[in-house]
């Protein structure tokens, strides 16, 4: 096999690496593939058999940040959330955090049940069950809620949109806490950094009240912001406001319901929390719904469907059609923000002047007596005691979640400055970026080299003398410069059984080829110049030996030329030809046999006839993707065999290997404008004889109905492939016969 020119690739890599901009880096298919591979590795524990696809794009003026439909994750890496951060490494961590959040929705969000909830609302019914009506105000609010919903169909549309928005807020908190709990390594660290940035942007209650007074917000929008803050981060920024503020009190009245929703594996609990919020906040909600209706009407006229004010810290509303992964076997772990939630619970207890402390204490004592354990509050110090560990699927050392009814109230305490604090980061973030940058630079370098090679091939095609019969015919070389992801996926989907055949055909040769390259003393020979004194007692005459020098130079080079005329569509001929090319290519690659693979057809464009040559595999491989290019083999136009055969034979004749085999796979006689019949056959016979004198062994494998014509043209070079299923094996076996070992 002709070795990859690593020196040339590395030189071009270094040239291109420094030219990669953030826009190129953060919207590259390579980085998207990096996240896809990361998702595949981290979700293996769930036996998740569907690959998560990622679409990265750069649109700075677009408000959308990230979303998923459970099939594809979209991330706008040009959004200010990413670009406001300085440094490529820090931006990478933010993008990785966005990806982690959306992966959480893919794994843990039940998209189907959310649609069921909205359908029930449209029928004026609660789903999954009616909210608890604990007070007379709740009973009154529910009646007014349904009366409003039934008054106008547009009212129901506004309610459904708001319910979906509320569901997304609570779901964001649920999936992020699940991801932090289950993926504490790369994904968890990146998500934590993204969350820290989000929390910095969340306004305090004082800020929200100021915006309300300026007419920028409604009270319910402030409540939504506080609801998001508690659901995701477990705490609320009070600002200068007392705990008795009605907005804060409204969240305090909901935190038990929200906690139940966030800690439950069932999506029904989160939908029930939405129902409770709709009822309990009705006195603020009705005004908000009227604003939503107004903005929806404006959106219909402008085409911009963003009726709700963007709330800091939210992601796009999720849409999808699948249920979450089954992780019922997992033991519930300790929430990473349980200490913050406990602190907010303590604030709620202090603010509740009407709470009955003795009953609360008795309930706590009863809980302790039943469990036999004390419920101790967790502190921030406990969470930050150690650095974030590497990803480990087998980790079972997390502290289990404990429900608490009361908290201790420590006295004293002090405020200290910690000069030794260093932020916790994922230590391999820089190396991840370096690796992705190297891939991008290598891809750019290989594309540049492929461009140069394509130009060289076309120049070579024009320099060859094809004979008078091909005068005036244009030759064009086609080659995929950069392999698309779809070709890789198609190859991976069908390769395993074909490569198994290749491995079986290699077994008998691998050992002999290894000995040939290693060299050394070969004993047990029937003939030779040296007697082996230790073998003179043998009766079979194998008493000679010889010393062989190591031979790293392959003794065989192979060229494969495939007919890609339109008739190859019939009876799966092009399919078998593609399979044969994949098997033969893998066979030669693994045995270090240089191989080139071409296809040929014709085309008519801009008033000119073209012989189209398709380069699938070259002797010198830059990007190691030639095996994927083979997936492009198909059936196209006509076949002008002589020009194509001469081009490939000319390339093969330049090889230094003593044995050169050129295999032509065809389903019929030559057929093109002014190139057919006895004149075309005579041209092919002349080409065969000319290159036979140059040491090229031609084999014409006939797979169509014109086998007799092909045998008449190529004579002793004819190989009859009556059974197409035997094509790969026969071609590979034919190559094996000419390998010198």
Residues 126 and 64 in one domain: no
For residue 216, being part of any structural domain is answered with: yes
Q: What would the mean pLDDT of 624-629 be, rounded to a whole number? A: 90
Residues 580 and 506 in one domain: yes
Residues 28 and 148 in one domain: no
Nearest in space to 383 (alpha carbons), one of 333, 428, 449:
333
Structural domains counted in the chain: 4
pLDDT digit string, tens, across residues 462-498: 888 888 888 878 889 999 988 888 899 899 999 998 9
For residue 506, being part of any structural domain is answered with: yes
Contact between 251 and 223 (Cβ < 8 Å): yes
Residues 146 and 30 in one domain: no
76: CATH: 3.30.2010
Residues 601 and 729 in one domain: yes
Residues 543 and 689 in one domain: no
For residue 718, being part of any structural domain is answered with: yes
Rounded-to-integer distance, Cα 82 and Cα 93, Å: 9
Decide if pLDDT at 212 tops 60: yes
623: CATH: 3.40.50.410
For residue 98, being part of any structural domain is answered with: yes
Residues 76 and 149 in one domain: no
Continuous H helices in 596-676 = 626-629, 641-653
For residue 13, being part of any structural domain is answered with: no
Query: Tokens 């044969």, residue?
Result: 580
Last residue of a domain, one of 529, 551, 573: 551
Q: What would the mean pLDDT of 637-645 be, rounded to a whole number? A: 89
pLDDT digit string, tens, across residues 391-408: 343 444 444 555 555 555
Residues 28 and 118 in one domain: no
Q: Cα separations (Å) of 362 from 370, 375, 401? A: 12, 14, 21
Residues 102 and 242 in one domain: no
pTM over the 0.75 mark: no
403-412: list long-range contacts, CB under 8 Å, 24+ apart.
403/367, 403/375, 404/342, 404/345, 404/364, 404/375, 404/377, 405/360, 405/363, 405/364, 405/367, 405/375, 406/349, 406/360, 406/361, 406/364, 407/342, 407/345, 407/346, 407/349, 407/377, 408/377, 409/346
For residue 227, being part of any structural domain is answered with: yes
Q: Which domain holds residue 103?
A: 21-108
Work out the percent of the chain whose per-residue pLDDT is above 70.
Answer: 78
Residues 151 and 30 in one domain: no
Residues 578 and 662 in one domain: yes
pLDDT digit string, tens, across residues 439-461: 777 777 777 888 888 888 888 88
Q: pLDDT at position 413, please?
A: 57
Rounded-to-integer distance, Cα 739 and Cα 662, Å: 14
Decide if pLDDT at 277 tops 80: yes
Contact between 659 and 621 (Cβ < 8 Å): no
Q: For the sheet containing 53-57, what is the strand order?
A: 53-57, 72-76, 66-68
């Amino acid at each position: 096999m002709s070795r990859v020119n690593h020196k040339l690739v590395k030189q071009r890599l270094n040239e291109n690496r420094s030219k990669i901009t953030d826009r190129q880096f953060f919207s590259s298919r390579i980085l998207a593939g990096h996240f896809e591979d990361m998702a595949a590795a981290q979700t293996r524990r769930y036996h998740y058999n569907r690959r998560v696809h990622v679409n990265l794009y750069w649109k700075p003026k677009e408000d959308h940040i990230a979303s998923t439909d459970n099939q594809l994750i979209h991330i706008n890496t040009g959004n200010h959330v990413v670009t406001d951060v300085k440094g490529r490494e820090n931006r990478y961590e933010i993008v990785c955090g966005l990806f982690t959040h959306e992966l959480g929705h893919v794994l843990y969000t039940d998209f189907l049940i959310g649609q069921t909830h909205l359908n029930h609302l449209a029928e004026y019914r609660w789903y999954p069950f009616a909210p608890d009506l604990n007070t007379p105000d709740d009973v009154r609010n529910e009646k007014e809620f349904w009366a409003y919903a039934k008054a106008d169909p547009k009212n129901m549309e506004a309610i459904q949109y708001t319910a979906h928005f509320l569901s997304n807020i609570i779901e964001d908190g649920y999936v992020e806490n699940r991801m932090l709990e289950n993926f504490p390594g790369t994904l968890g660290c990146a998500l934590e950094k993204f969350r820290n940035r989000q929390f910095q942007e969340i306004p305090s209650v004082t800020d929200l009240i100021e915006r309300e007074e300026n007419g920028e917000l409604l009270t319910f929008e402030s409540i939504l912001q506080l609801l998001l803050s508690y659901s995701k981060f477990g705490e609320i920024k009070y600002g200068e406001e007392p705990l008795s503020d009605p907005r804060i009190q409204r969240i305090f009245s909901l935190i038990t319901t929200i906690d139940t929703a966030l800690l439950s594996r069932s999506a029904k609990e989160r939908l029930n929390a939405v129902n409770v919020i709709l009822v309990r906040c009705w006195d603020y909600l009705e005004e908000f719904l009227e604003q939503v209706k107004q903005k929806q009407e404006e959106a219909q006229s402008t085409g911009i469907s963003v009726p709700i004010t963007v709330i800091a810290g939210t992601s796009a509303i999720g849409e999808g059609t699948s249920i979450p992964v089954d992780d019922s076997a997992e033991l519930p772990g300790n929430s990473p923000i349980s200490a913050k939630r406990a602190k907010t619970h303590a604030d709620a207890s202090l603010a509740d002047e009407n709470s009955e402390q003795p009953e609360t204490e008795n309930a706590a004592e009863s809980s302790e007596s039943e469990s036999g354990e004390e419920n101790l509050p967790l502190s921030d110090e406990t969470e930050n005691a150690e650095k974030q560990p590497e990803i480990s699927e087998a980790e079972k050392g997390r502290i289990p979640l404990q429900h608490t009814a009361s908290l201790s109230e420590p006295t004293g305490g002090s405020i200290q400055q910690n000069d030794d604090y260093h932020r916790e980061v994922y230590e391999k973030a820089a190396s991840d970026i370096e690796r992705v940058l190297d891939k991008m630079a290598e891809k750019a370098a290989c594309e540049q080299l492929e461009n140069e090679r394509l130009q060289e091939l076309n120049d070579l095609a024009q320099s060859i003398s094809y004979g008078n019969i091909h005068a005036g015919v244009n030759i064009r070389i086609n080659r995929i410069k950069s392999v698309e992801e779809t070709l890789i996926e198609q190859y991976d989907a069908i390769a395993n059984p074909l490569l198994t055949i290749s491995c079986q055909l290699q077994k008998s040769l691998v050992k002999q080829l290894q000995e040939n390259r290693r060299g050394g003393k070969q004993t047990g020979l029937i003939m030779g110049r040296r007697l082996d004194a230790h073998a003179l007692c043998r009766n079979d005459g194998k008493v000679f030996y010889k010393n062989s020098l190591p031979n790293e130079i392959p003794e065989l080079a192979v060229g494969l030329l495939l007919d890609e005329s339109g008739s190859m569509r019939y009876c799966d001929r092009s399919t078998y030809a593609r399979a044969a090319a994949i098997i033969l290519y893998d066979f030669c690659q693994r045995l270090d046999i240089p191989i080139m693979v071409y296809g040929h057809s014709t085309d008519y464009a801009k008033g000119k006839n073209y012989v189209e040559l398709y380069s699938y595999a070259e002797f010198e491989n830059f990007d190691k993707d030639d095996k994927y290019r083979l997936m492009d083999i198909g059936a196209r136009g006509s076949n002008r065999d002589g020009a194509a055969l001469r081009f490939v034979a000319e390339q093969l004749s330049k090889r230094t290997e003593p044995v050169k085999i050129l295999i032509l796979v065809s389903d019929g006689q030559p057929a093109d404008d002014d190139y057919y019949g006895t004149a075309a056959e005579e041209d092919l016979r002349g080409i065969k004889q000319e290159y036979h004198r140059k040491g090229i062994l031609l084999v014409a494998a006939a797979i169509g109905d014109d086998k007799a014509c092909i045998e008449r043209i190529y004579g002793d070079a004819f190989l009859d492939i009556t059974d197409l299923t035997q094509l790969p094996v026969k071609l590979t076996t034919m190559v094996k016969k000419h390998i010198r070992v």
